Amino acid sequence: MINHHTPETPNTTLQSDLAGEYPRYLYWPKDKLTLLYSHSITELLDDPRVPKPLAISSEGISFLLQSGVVPPPKTAYQDIYILGIGDTAGVTSVNGKVDINFTHVFPFMNANRLSPDAMQPDEGLILQMLAEATISRIDLSRPSFLFHSAGKDSNSIALALAEAGWQDKVTLITHKSKGAADESEISAKIAKQLGFKHQVLHEVDQLKAEHHAAIEDYFVNAPFPCTDNVTLAYPLYSVQIPELRGANLIDGGGNDSHMTTPPSRRDLKTHKFATLTSKLPGFRNHVKSESVINPLLRTQAEWCGMGGMSLADANSLYPDNSSVYPHWNRESLKRQSWDHYDFKTDILTSVTAAELHIRKVRIFADAIAANFVLPFANASLADYFARMPETYLFDRKTQKNKLILRKILKDRIGLDSDALGKMGFSYDSRTIVLQNWETIAREIYACPLWNKPSLEKLVTRMRGRMNGKGWGSRSAGRMLYRVYLVSCWRNKCRWVV
């Protein structure tokens, strides 16, 4: 549903729900004569009152190149905004025009948690709430798939659904990564133990005609660009399992905000280090993107999962580029007195996770007309965990997180997350670039965003660097892949072209 606000409409305050299960999307044009907003980005962009083609935000592209993510409420479009976790839009009328004041207040500060003697977790209730949060969002007329791994989040959802008797209604699907990071065998065993059907999704290195067609369709219908490394895997999933189109897609993300994301030992060191290096913004315009010095110049906020091109390369590539340093430096200074746990959790979950990691799945769901289900972001569930004493969630000495989920899974299905360790979800985007170079290069060179003479020099340099080894080689590959993803979106997106 599209909501309409005019200068004659009473003042209002807009927010997303507590944990960002349903972000709000706003169309607020520069003339400020109207405001449209909705929980559906595709409905908003398709509305005839939103003129097409949409104007691209140079600031948004600058963030994508240098940070990899556009911080809300900003987007890659000039007049489109997002309200996510902790974001508020105060809507008023000023001199006959709609005016908006955007603010952000993180709702999950650890100081607001209850004391250990005031609350003890109810494991049965947690699983019941998780099952209800999932089932209530499922459209029974569609097939249902849960993105599953060896991790705590998706397994908690699988266990909750199993105890609710939903084994015959949901299929677990798992990405088979290359090397030691592969979780598909563990996933298959858990699926069998719980009684679910299970399918494995394989990486595709050499793209064929059907893969190119799926990628084309994905970018045509992708409402936003996304630079997550795993982005390209998703349209290729729909080739392997055509039933994903229009299905219920269940994802285990969305709980790091209210369960807290503990900083690692490296995070604590870099946080202090960044207080010094972030005072040297001028150096950003004098290093190459693939230089090991480039990431060391990040602000404290940017250490929360962000990174990208150096300012020098971004300026060279994109004529309308602007430095993202002032924004991230302000965000860091706002939180300089915060506890490290709150600092990392706020930036990581309301920006990086929401608009990079989770956004890639939202975009995929929008592109294939699927129903995206994010149970852990359910407001009632988030409120329950937000009140839970930290002793049940994380350990400040070991930096272990989600302690209550670890306990539930170990006790009920024998999954020892401590012994298993953090496996992660890897995707070999470097091989995609190398084995499909002609296609990748053609798409990059066709993009009208880039400065063509500088583009050719940049691509030649980074492509050559990819033939080497070490951090610089991997970084060059990531940057070329990022430029390709943004180029594809700009070249094909139906709301832009």
**pLDDT at residue 425 in the model:** 65
Full set of structural domains in the chain with CATH: 3-104 (3.60.20.10), 108-497 (3.40.50.620)
Question: Contact 67/349 with Cβ under 8 angstroms?
Answer: no
pLDDT of residue 275: 80
The string of DSSP codes covering 130-158 is HHHHHHTT--TTS-EEEE--SSHHHHHHH
Is 70 exceeded by the pLDDT of residue 127?
A: yes
The pLDDT assigned to 421 comes to 67
Indicate whether 467 pLDDT > 90.
no
- Of 15-24, 343-352, 415-424, 433-442, the least confident: 415-424
* pLDDT confidence tier of residue 424, bands split at 50, 70 and 90: low
H or E element at residue 248: strand 248-250
Q: Is the pLDDT of residue 269 over 90?
A: no
Instruction: Reply yes or no on whether the pLDDT at 422 is more than 70.
Output: no
**Residue 96 has what pLDDT?**
96
Which tens digits make up the pLDDT trace of 130-170?
999 999 999 999 999 999 999 999 999 999 999 999 999 99
The whole-chain average pLDDT of the chain stands at: 95
Task: Supply 149's token pair.
Answer: 């791994």
Q: Give CA separation, 342 vs 215, 261, 345, 350, 382, in Å.
A: 38, 8, 5, 12, 16
Which amino acid is it at 129? M
Q: What is the pLDDT of residues 17-40, one digit of tens each?
A: 999 999 999 999 999 999 999 999
- 32 phi-psi bin (left φ>0, alpha ψ -120 to 50, beta other): left
Q: What is the pLDDT of residue 117?
A: 94
Give the residue from 120, 161, 153, 117 showing the smallest Cα distance to 137: 161
Residue 130 contacts by C-beta under 8 Å, 6 or more apart in sequence? 156, 157, 160, 375, 376, 381
What is the predicted pLDDT for the residue at 282? 83
Question: What is the pLDDT, as a whole number, of residue 265?
Answer: 87
The confidence score (pLDDT) of residue 361 equals 98
Average pLDDT over residues 437-449: 97
Over residues 157-211, the pLDDT tens digits come to: 999 999 999 999 999 999 988 877 788 999 999 999 999 999 999 999 899 999 9
450-465 pLDDT per residue, tens: 999 999 999 999 999 9
Q: Closest Cα partner for 190 from 340, 399, 414, 424? A: 414
Provide the 10 A C-beta neighbour count for residue 441: 16
Percentage of the chain lying above the pLDDT 70 cut: 99
Determine the average pLDDT of the residues in 96-121.
Answer: 97
Residue pair 355/84 in contact (Cβ under 8 Å)? The answer is yes
Q: Pick from 311, 298, 309: which is nearest to 267 by CA?
A: 298
In DSSP terms, 37 is beta-bridged to: 3, 26
**C-beta separation of 196 from 154 below 8 A:** no
Strands 87-94, 80-83: pairing is unpaired
Distance CA 49, CA 45 (A): 9
Contacts of 70 (CB under 8 A, 6+ apart): 57, 60, 63, 64, 76, 355
Alpha carbon dihedral 252, 364, 13, 45, in 10-degree steps, equals -170
196: helix, strand or coil: coil
Residue 273, pLDDT score: 79
Residue 436 CA to residue 207 CA, distance in Å, equals 7
pTM for the predicted model, two decimal places: 0.96
Residue 14 CA, distance from chain mean position: 22
Q: How confident is the model at residue 420 (pLDDT cuts 50, 70, 90)?
A: confident
Percent above pLDDT 90 for the chain:
88
Hey, what are 133's tokens?
């949060």
pLDDT of residue 363: 98
User: Quick check: bond before 73 cis, omega within 30?
Assistant: yes
To 10 degrees, what angle do helices 184-194 and 403-413 make? 60
Q: Is residue 13 classed as helix, strand or coil in its secondary structure?
A: strand
Cα 319 versus chain centre, distance: 27
DSSP H or E stretch at residue 314: helix 311-317
In 41-192, where do the E strands start and end?
80-83, 87-94, 97-104, 144-147, 171-176
Radius of gyration of the chain from its Cα atoms, rounded to whole angstroms: 22
Q: In one letter, which amino acid is 376? A: F
